[in-house]
Structure 1
Amino acid sequence: MIQAIGLTSETRKQLPPAVDDVSFEARAGRVTALLGAAGAGKTTALRLMLELQRGRGITYFRGRPLHRIAHPSREVGVLLGDVPGHPARTVRGHLRMLCAAAGVPARRADEVLEVVGLVSLRDERLGTLSRGMDRRLGLACALLGDPHTLVLDEPADGLSSREGRWLHGMLRAHAAQGGTVLLTTADPKEAARTADQVVTLEQGRLAADQDAADFSRTRLRPRVAVRTPHASRLAALLAKEARTTRRSVEVVREGGNRLSVYGSTCAAVGETAYRHGILVHQLADEIGDMGSAAAAGLSTEPRADEAPLTPVREAIAVREHGRAATSQVPVPMRHKGSATADDLPAPREASPAPDGKPTTHQAATGEPRQDDEVTEGYGPSSQAAPHPNAPQSATQPADSQATAPQPAASRPADSTTDRLPDLPPPISVRPAPSPLRPLRYELRRAAGVGTGFLTAGAVLVVSALTAVLLARVGHTPHHRLLVAWPRELPLPPAALGAGLLGAIAFGEEFRHPALAADRGTVPRRLGLLAAKLLVASATALVLAVLTVGCDIEVLYLVYGRELAEVPADWLSLSASWIGLLVGCAWAGVLAAGLFRSTTAGLAAVVAVPVLLVPLVQKVMEGPSVRTAAGFPLRLREVLLSQWPFGGERYLAAAARLIAQPVGGALTLSLAALLAAYLLTTARSRVR
């Protein structure tokens, strides 16, 4: 159950807030639609509910605000816009990465892929998916944690009729098992057709909160749909009788042999046709544009004697509270193509309301879902799918004519024609919080795309070529030659590559925020930062070893054994080399996480030797600076005992490394970046 109380966005420049004091409830077991035209504040309301935007008000998800829920992804499944994933990542890899972040088994990715129908596309890249497949993937991401609540922003926007039917069937199935579904839409007919409750927003304010039946009766325009080969004659007769009897009747010619009669009834239209001997093929009451086929989610193909729909349909005025609103509620054109058994959702037994009868999951396992919430008086309802109306003639009795379709809230729950898609099985084992979850996520994120491997390969090639050129030119110290570090460059290629890989680790999170419910918002968690620093350290260590090994091998192949010899003080040089690469990688991670950009992370790495090293050298060369001579001896005196395995020697070596200009500048930069990151993290958590 969702309880939104007093949602109000921050005021804009000389403009009223996009959302102003909006309060409503979305109950469990029901599909709730947040309806409004473009700019009405639907998306802003969702962002306020999900705490993605600053403002006033509070939202409770089953009695708790989102920031008080330990595992939000297991309570609320969110779909806002397109799936924010890396275009080069595969569908299955993206879901497995999110499984690691949510702490659910990796097999969950295959389960949701099977449910949403993406098994055959699991190895496809995210950048190649169509709009419909992207929506299916977004729903799969929302269902990964087996959440009780689904919050979806325009889930059917841009989808075909068949994909929209499948999506609404999935949402209905989730509500039928006791879950809560909240979606936004700009189409009032879609809201009345798919939702149990409709909350209407107008200019950021709450305009109405109604059941679907009340909404259809009060805010949609009823009509009589007529199909006859004598459409022009019948339209003229109906208009003439309306003028004679002084009744407000509007007849709209939709093209071909179709008519829409507003302000009349099936009985009146049928009697007129019968008196004048006009053959009628179809005569049905409809609400708005929801005919019996549309309400069932079916699209009909025009007959041979039926011309396609013309733009005259767009001129139909949809009146709200007695006023025309043609510009705000466009009437969509009907899709061509006949509905077959393949177009319908997957077979599924109807799940009745929680009134003592078992739900689909209870019938299969004998146990209720772990996160089901039964709310008395608000059970789930099913989505009936009546058969399309057969052609009828005017000679049939008026009582036998088709009636208007029932809204979702008023359809019987025990209808045998209801077939709901299957949902992924509930997660039976929910592991306790583990510090390895961010680490598993980071490993799958880094290995899921080829950016890191390509960068490392480019670094090895550039470093080997630079070493060969330096050896040919000469005048380069041997220890610098082995790491391809000329004096003219501020950093060697390997250090720049390590900093770039570290910057990419956080830069990709902001460019393709897989962990965020909306683009540009990445959670600032210390566990995620620690995992990125650890993976960046391991990557820098591997890169340091591979770079030296490749340079030595290339120098041996080109110039012989003389230039490939290992220096005598290789241990201290190796420590300095590894420390330099790890420090650059950490600087890239922290700077990219602080400034939310890969470019800023790499710029922070380059700024260390360009700006900070000269500053540190100038400070250390001053006349008032004292040296740290005799540090190892004083350290041994302070510790009063010798460390095992000569630990004080390594500590003294680290101190000497930091005392160097590059080491000191890098240490100063890391300390400043870490302090700034922790400060911004603490400020973001203050509400």
Structure 2
Amino acid sequence: MLQAIGITSAPRRGLPAAVDDLTFEARPGRVTALLGAPGSGKTTALRLMLELDPGRGATYFRGRPLHRIPYPAREVGVLLGDVPGHPARTTRGQLRMLAAAAGVPAARADELLGLVGLADSGDRRIGTLSLGMDRRLAFASALLGDPHALVLDDPAEGLDPRESRWLHGMLRAHAAQGGTVLYTTADPREAARTADRVISIGGGRLVADQEADDFSRTRLRPRVAVRSPHAARLAAAVSREARAARRSIEVVAEDGGRLAVYGSSCAEIGDIAFRHGLPVHRLADEVGDAGSKESGDGAAPPAPDRAPPPDPAAPGGSAGPAGAAGGATPRGVRPIARPMAPVRSAVHRRPDAGPLHPLRYELHRLLGVRTTALIAGASLVVSVVLSLLLARSGHTPLPKALTAWPSLLPLPPAAVGAGVLGALSYGDEFRYPALAAGRGAVQRRPGLLLAKLAVTAGVAAALALAAALLSGEAVRLVYGPEWMHLPPDLAVSAGSWVAMTVGCAWAGLLAAGIFRVATAGVAAVLAVPVLVVPLVRRMLMAPGSRPVSGLPAGLRELIWPRWPYETDRWVAGALGAVAHPVGVALALSLSVLALAYLFTGLQNRARWRSRRIANPGSAS
């Protein structure tokens, strides 16, 4: 059972509310169509029900509002617009990533691909899908959590008749299993043909709530659609001959030289046009909406002016909006009982929920696109080439050659590549939101942040080690094994190299999470050697400052217990790496970014709470 009670959108800039006190229900085991012309408030109503837009009212899914449902994807399947996934991601990769977000097994993705007819297209990229295949993937995303209710916004828009029949067949099958189905449409014929119940709205208000058979009988009737460059003359001729023959024929003029003629046939209209010498460009039989003859587009009629709610104790006091003017309910129109007091509670927006399996989600997100492999491959290739060029001179220290870090570059290629991957970790979240339809990416959840930090650290460490190993092997093959003289502190140098690469990846990740764009993450990575390192060197060389070269030895003397030699060497190496200007600059940048990330998260939460306290009648 899906119940919407008094949902009202927040007006903007003095305009009337797009949805005004809308109340209806969709029952389980039935397909319910929300019918209305473009601009009538259908999509806004769905977004209010799903707690995506601010407003007032209440929507209950089997007796619970959405923000009180622990796992919304397992209760409500949503289809709003196209698939918001990365165009380079495969259909199988997209569903597996969403499966990790919804907390369902990855095998559910392959099961749904077969259910929606995309079993042979699991490796197709989202950007190459046709409209019908894209809609099938979106429908599979809605079914991922095996929800009880389906809420879909014009799911058959733009589909050919065969795809449309398939989609409505799937909706009918879901309802036959006891599920609730609510979808919007602007076509009254589609609503009458595919739904069990039709709820008509206009101007954001409820117009009628009818069974499909009653809707077809009371709202639909045959008409002749005519298009002519002389539509006004043809309309006058048809009306004149109808009066002469004392026939009940109604002609409605539409935009673009179109006419809708009720009570006649194509043959009669064609004969009249021929007798008067008027050209006709289109002549066809249609089934039109009898309630919207003035618009002729098959939309629902505008809502009548609503009278004050009648006394429930009076006879006929429960008449709904469609029958409020006459005090009686028209035949076939379900009376809508109004509550004694309007619903004033805010539409509480559900806090953005992170993925239930953040680590699995992040792995699917990272490895599901070719960008990761391209960036990593480019970093390794550039590292090998630079290492060969540096080793050719014979004067470059081995650590510099293996890390491919010439003095002309602010950072080695592997560190830059790790920083770009870290920036894309959050940048793609905001560019291609996938965690919830219409809700956007989630950037403040600790579980998702920890998963991103862990995955980017692993990728950065692997990239750093691979760059060093491949560069060393390339140098050995080109210049011979005698060139490779490994230093005694190789392990400490390798640890420092990996730590710097991981630090660059985290800097890009945190900056992209703060500014919500991947470019900011890349800029933060490059700012470390370009801006922060010179500033740190200037501070260290300032008069009165103590050199940090003796920091490891000084700290060693302050500690009473004596460490083993290996431990002492590792600690000294770690402190030496941190004391290096690049290490100081990177540690300082990460500290600032982490504090800024924490501050912006707390600031957004405080702003959200203050809005709810200051204005309890509006949504956050």
**What is the identity, as a one-letter code, of the residue corresponding to 2:295?**
A
Shift of 1:153: 1.2
Give the aligned partner of residue 379 of structure 2: 459
Name the SS for the 1:313 alignment partner: strand
Counterpart pick for 2:296 among 326, 345, 348: 326
Residues 221 and 287 in structure 2, CA contact (< 8 A), matched pair in contact too = no
Shift of 1:682: 4.5
Distance 2:539 2:9 in 1: 50
**Once the two structures are superposed, what CA deviation does each residue of 1:134-192 show, in whole Å capped at 9, x if it has no partner?**
11111111111100111111100011111111111111221222212121212122223
Give the aligned partner of residue 570 of structure 1: 490
- When residues 479 and 99 of structure 1 are mapped into structure 2, their CA distance, relative to the original with a 3 A threshold, is same
- Give structure 1 stretches of 5+ with no counterpart: 226-237, 253-259, 274-308, 331-406, 410-432
List aligned pairs for 1:521-600, cutoff 5 A.
Answer: 521-522=441-442, 524-600=444-520
Give the aligned partner of residue 221 of structure 2: 222
**What is the identity, as a one-letter code, of the residue corresponding to 2:283?**
V
Alignment of 1:92 onto 2:92: yes
Give the aligned partner of residue 284 of structure 2: 313
Shift of 1:124: 2.3
**Once the two structures are superposed, what CA deviation does each residue of 1:522-552 show, in whole Å capped at 9, x if it has no partner?**
4642222211211111111111111111111
- When residues 630 and 244 of structure 1 are mapped into structure 2, their CA distance, relative to the original with a 3 A threshold, is closer
List aligned pairs for 1:69-88, cutoff 5 A.
Answer: 69-88=69-88
Give the aligned partner of residue 324 of structure 2: none
Distance 1:621 1:18 in 2: 64
Residues 319 and 325 in structure 1, CA contact (< 8 A), matched pair in contact too = no
**Once the two structures are superposed, what CA deviation does each residue of 1:560-593 show, in whole Å capped at 9, x if it has no partner?**
3344322222122112111110011111222223
Shift of 1:217: 4.3
When normalised by structure 1's length, the TM-score is: 0.68
Distance 2:575 2:36 in 1: 64
Number of residues of Structure 1 aligned to a counterpart in Structure 2: 526
Shift of 1:678: 3.5
Alignment of 1:34 onto 2:67: no
Distance 2:557 2:73 in 1: 52
Shift of 1:627: 5.8
Distance 1:25 1:442 in 2: 38
Residues 476 and 483 in structure 2, CA contact (< 8 A), matched pair in contact too = yes
- When residues 146 and 603 of structure 1 are mapped into structure 2, their CA distance, relative to the original with a 3 A threshold, is same
Give the aligned partner of residue 120 of structure 2: 120
Distance 2:538 2:426 in 1: 33
Distance 2:412 2:127 in 1: 35
Identity %: 59
- When residues 610 and 63 of structure 1 are mapped into structure 2, their CA distance, relative to the original with a 3 A threshold, is farther
List aligned pairs for 1:243-642, cutoff 5 A.
Answer: 243=243, 246-250=246-250, 262-263=262-263, 311-313=282-284, 318-320=289-291, 324-326=294-296, 329=299, 437-473=357-393, 476-518=396-438, 520-522=440-442, 524-623=444-543, 625=545
**What is the identity, as a one-letter code, of the residue corresponding to 1:160?**
D
**What is the identity, as a one-letter code, of the residue corresponding to 1:311?**
R
Distance 2:407 2:294 in 1: 77
Report which stretch shifted further, 511-520 or 93-102. Answer: 511-520
Residues 439 and 531 in structure 1, CA contact (< 8 A), matched pair in contact too = yes
Name the SS for the 1:4 alignment partner: strand
Residues 191 and 198 in structure 2, CA contact (< 8 A), matched pair in contact too = yes
Distance 2:3 2:371 in 1: 43
Distance 1:2 1:547 in 2: 56
Counterpart pick for 1:657 among 577, 584, 588: 577
What RMSD over aligned residues (CA atoms) do the two structures have, in Å? 3.8
Name the SS for the 1:77 alignment partner: strand
Name the SS for the 2:183 alignment partner: strand
**Once the two structures are superposed, what CA deviation does each residue of 1:32-51 show, in whole Å capped at 9, x if it has no partner?**
22222223332233223323
Distance 2:395 2:54 in 1: 60
Residues 116 and 136 in structure 2, CA contact (< 8 A), matched pair in contact too = yes
Residues 317 and 325 in structure 1, CA contact (< 8 A), matched pair in contact too = no
- When residues 82 and 683 of structure 1 are mapped into structure 2, their CA distance, relative to the original with a 3 A threshold, is farther
**Once the two structures are superposed, what CA deviation does each residue of 1:276-332 show, in whole Å capped at 9, x if it has no partner?**
xxxxxxxxxxxxxxxxxxxxxxxxxxxxxxxxx9723399874427x52225749xx
- When residues 635 and 592 of structure 1 are mapped into structure 2, their CA distance, relative to the original with a 3 A threshold, is same
**Once the two structures are superposed, what CA deviation does each residue of 1:489-519 show, in whole Å capped at 9, x if it has no partner?**
1111110011111122222223332323138
Residues 354 and 448 in structure 2, CA contact (< 8 A), matched pair in contact too = no
Residues 33 and 185 in structure 2, CA contact (< 8 A), matched pair in contact too = yes
Residues 222 and 288 in structure 2, CA contact (< 8 A), matched pair in contact too = no
Name the SS for the 1:673 alignment partner: helix
Distance 2:118 2:14 in 1: 47
**What is the identity, as a one-letter code, of the residue corresponding to 1:325?**
S
Give the aligned partner of residue 155 of structure 1: 155
Give the aligned partner of residue 141 of structure 1: 141
Shift of 1:108: 1.6
**What is the identity, as a one-letter code, of the residue corresponding to 1:113?**
L
Alignment of 1:60 onto 2:31: no
- Give structure 2 stretches of 5+ with no counterpart: 225-237, 253-259, 269-279, 301-331, 335-352, 609-619
Name the SS for the 1:527 alignment partner: helix
